[in-house]
Amino acid sequence: MVELVSGLVPEGASVVCLGDGEFDGSRLQQTMQDAGWFSVCRTGCHMTASWDGERFRLDTLGACIKPGTLIELSEVLLTREDYGPIMLLCCWAKG
């Protein structure tokens, strides 16, 4: 997909891919990064991450927050492959 579409993108244009869990694979993320694209992706709470030397499942973040909370972690490595660094956001909207 990235190779096919990248030929249609005008030179100098910024590309941001927005996707759900099917876009969170580290190979696809690396391919988009190599193409100079940015990505925003919702991912499953079963995923494993590493931040500040600590490895954890993403569902532990959700278990620790209340409505109206936003957690923002930078320099996160995702999956056991340690893909990244990425920025990780975990939020629970009010209402």
* Residues 38 and 55 occupy one common structural domain: no
* Residues 49 and 91 occupy one common structural domain: yes
* Res. 83: pLDDT tops 80: yes
What's the predicted TM-score (pTM) here?
0.75
* Residues 17 and 48 occupy one common structural domain: no
The whole-number pLDDT of residue 42 equals 87
The whole-number pLDDT of residue 80 equals 84
Instruction: Give the model confidence (pLDDT) of 20-64 as tens digits.
Output: 877 777 888 888 888 889 988 888 888 899 999 999 999 998 888
Residue 23's Cβ-side half-sphere holds a number of Cα atoms within 13 Å equal to 14
Distance, CA of 48 to CA of 78 (rounded, Å): 6
* Residues 49 and 95 occupy one common structural domain: yes
Q: Which amino acid is at 36?
A: G
Mean per-residue pLDDT over the chain, rounded? 88
* Residues 51 and 62 occupy one common structural domain: yes
* Residues 6 and 30 occupy one common structural domain: yes
* Residues 48 and 28 occupy one common structural domain: no
